[in-house]
Amino acid sequence: MAKSTDALQACGAVDMGNLTAKVPDDVQDKVFMMLDTPKGRFPIKCGNGITSGAVHIEVKHGVPDWGDALSCIKKVISRAPEKASGSGKANYQLTIAPGNVFTVVRGSIGIITAYPSGGDLENKWRQCSVS
């Protein structure tokens, strides 16, 4: 299955091949997409390509398609209880199916990261989107 390269392209990032990408400093704060949820409107910024942002989510966490990813992230934030963690971050975790747990982390900059539990990540994104 093919993975999306939308964030890489939109943010001018280079995939480093080790589940990280190099994002130019001047676009790291650029908003890649906005996410509207019942709990608020949150930006997904380009990020640093290593620990946060759209490029990180796409490269490290196997986003097959941003339509699926946005649907899933919105579903997790909408349905899961918000749990505060350090540094003003909020975590959301939702079990979609046995062996398919999704985590979304939100902070003052917007969506920091989102990911399914290990395994076939691309199929897990799709399963989350349609469930």
Tens of pLDDT, residue by residue over 100-129, are 999 999 998 899 999 999 788 888 999 998
Which residue's entry shows tokens 């080790």? Answer: 18
Task: Give residues with Cβ within 8 angstroms of 112, minimum separation 6.
Answer: 47, 51, 52, 53, 89, 105, 106
DSSP 85-129: EGGGEEEEEEEEETTEEEEEEEETTEEEEEEE-SS-HHHHHHHHH
Tens of pLDDT, residue by residue over 21-74, are 999 999 999 999 999 999 999 999 999 999 999 999 999 999 999 999 999 999
Domain ranges of the chain: 6-130
Which residue's entry shows tokens 């799709």? Answer: 126
Phi, psi of 119 (to 5 degrees): 105, -145
pLDDT, position 42: 96
